[in-house]
Amino acid sequence: MLLHVQIVLLNNAEELRGHVDRSQLTADLGGVLQYDHRQWIQHRAVRLTDLRVLFLVKCKIYWIISLNMA
């Protein structure tokens, strides 16, 4: 399956704002999106930890089910 992707070359942030809503751009690009990199890293770290725990729980449940079927 081929995917068709449109590529747009822009010369400056003003042109970018013509393609991307200001609510999705940070202030340095003329937008209004509030962005705190430390907060984003914290959020991602917590999310990755949650996913690891979920994975380990699923592995343990699978292991227990496998033992009961043997």
More confident residue, 66 or 40: 40
> In terms of pLDDT, which residue wins out, 69 or 44?
44
- Measuring CA to CA, how many Å separate 65 from each of 7, 57, 59? 49, 12, 10
Residue 38's pLDDT is 87
pLDDT score for 51: 72
For residue 69, the model assigns a pLDDT of: 62
Rounded CA separation 13/25 (Å): 10
Instruction: Map tokens 């202030």 to a residue.
Output: 27
Q: What is the pLDDT of residues 7-62, one digit of tens each?
A: 899 999 889 989 999 999 999 999 999 989 888 887 777 677 777 777 776 776 66
